[in-house]
Amino acid sequence: MLDIQSLAKTYPGGVRALQGISLQVPRGMFGLLGPNGSGKTTLMRILAGLLEPTSGRVLLDGEDVVLHPERIWSRLGYLPQYFGFYPGLTGAAMLMHMLRLKGVEHPRGLDALCAELLDRVNLAHAAGRPVKSYSGGMRQRLGIAQAIAGKPDLLIVDEPTAGLDPEERSRFYQLLAELAESCTVLLSTHIVDDVAVLCPRLAVIRHGRLLATTTPHEARAAIAGTIYEGEVGRHDLEAMAATFEVTQAYLVEGRHRVRVHAPHHDVPPHFEMVPPTLEDAYMLLTQRDARDRPLLAGSA
């Protein structure tokens, strides 16, 4: 169990990146969802023992991460949002270098461990290729290979699917779901689909504050019967946004469609009620002041 207690971080200059985050993360997959700049990366770096908070505590199975980060590093796997590689090294050589830096040991030696890890993330076929020839998804899988070395109890992944094509994203989903069977995986992202696909529970943060802890089902159920969708003209988009809580606006075959939250059902006659999505709930929650107008069960 990862127990986050009243965690706050204020950077020089007065920027309050985290404002009293309290959260319990159980075993399995847990999503941390928030827009860019919400404080997610700051939180991930504190949990990984790489950054000191201004105040608050972080406990991993009772061990204080803030006071003694070195005690949990052997139990931790971390894939940051931007992971640096030496592009001229092969995948195997790069992974071997990272294993040595981490001080990981294996009964049959690091060569055997390296081969096992590359096979687990489906990179054995590319072990001898230079990293500069890898696709974005392959580089992410190489990053996961180093993160899971040593069989960590806690795996932290920060924006892992940003920039991946649909096929690579699907492969990464499968890998993360498999890893969550044996440890706690904390998935930090601004991509709602990542959480909707993978996470049975999630937390939403914005401006360093915890807005809600919920499940995808609870989030959708909270706004069931209140989401409507319809086609609008390009010049009507601004008026719609001024009149309704717009959750999504997108193009379909060159035509503008809008989804709105209308609890009183006062929508244009051609709009139809549609099933809510996690994206609808997320957009409503992050657009509101959740302290005064809670939307979801479990809102902070």
The residues spanned by each domain of the chain are 2-214, 222-287
Q: Please say if the pLDDT value at position 297 is more than 70.
A: no
Residues in contact with 256: Cβ distance below 8 Å, sequence separation at least 6, in sequence order: 231, 232, 233, 234, 236, 237, 249, 250
**How many CA atoms, within 13 angstroms, populate the side-chain half-sphere of residue 150?**
21
Q: Please say if the pLDDT value at position 289 is more than 60.
A: no
Q: Please say if the pLDDT value at position 74 is more than 90.
A: no
Distance (Å, rounded) from C-alpha 272 to C-alpha 260?
Answer: 10
From the list 257, 298, 264, the residue with the least C-alpha distance to 281 is 298
Percent of the chain with pLDDT over 70: 96
> Residue 208, by phi and psi: left (phi above 0), alpha (psi -120 to 50) or beta?
left
Grade residue 295 by pLDDT with cuts at 50, 70 and 90. low
CATH topology for the 2-214 domain:
Rossmann fold (3.40.50)
With b meaning 16 or more CB within 10 Å and e meaning fewer, what string describes 52-62? ebeebebbbee
> Which pLDDT tens digit goes with each residue over 189-245?
999 999 999 999 999 999 999 999 999 999 999 999 999 999 999 888 888 989 999
Cβ–Cβ < 8 Å for 2, 29 = no
The predicted model gives 269-274 an average pLDDT of 96
> Which pLDDT tens digit goes with each residue over 88-143?
999 999 999 999 988 888 888 899 999 999 998 889 999 999 999 998 888 988 99
Grade residue 270 by pLDDT with cuts at 50, 70 and 90. very high
Cβ–Cβ < 8 Å for 295, 288 = yes
Q: What pLDDT shows up at residue 296?
A: 52
Q: Average pLDDT of the chain?
A: 90
Q: Please say if the pLDDT value at position 300 is more than 50.
A: no
Q: Please say if the pLDDT value at position 298 is more than 50.
A: no
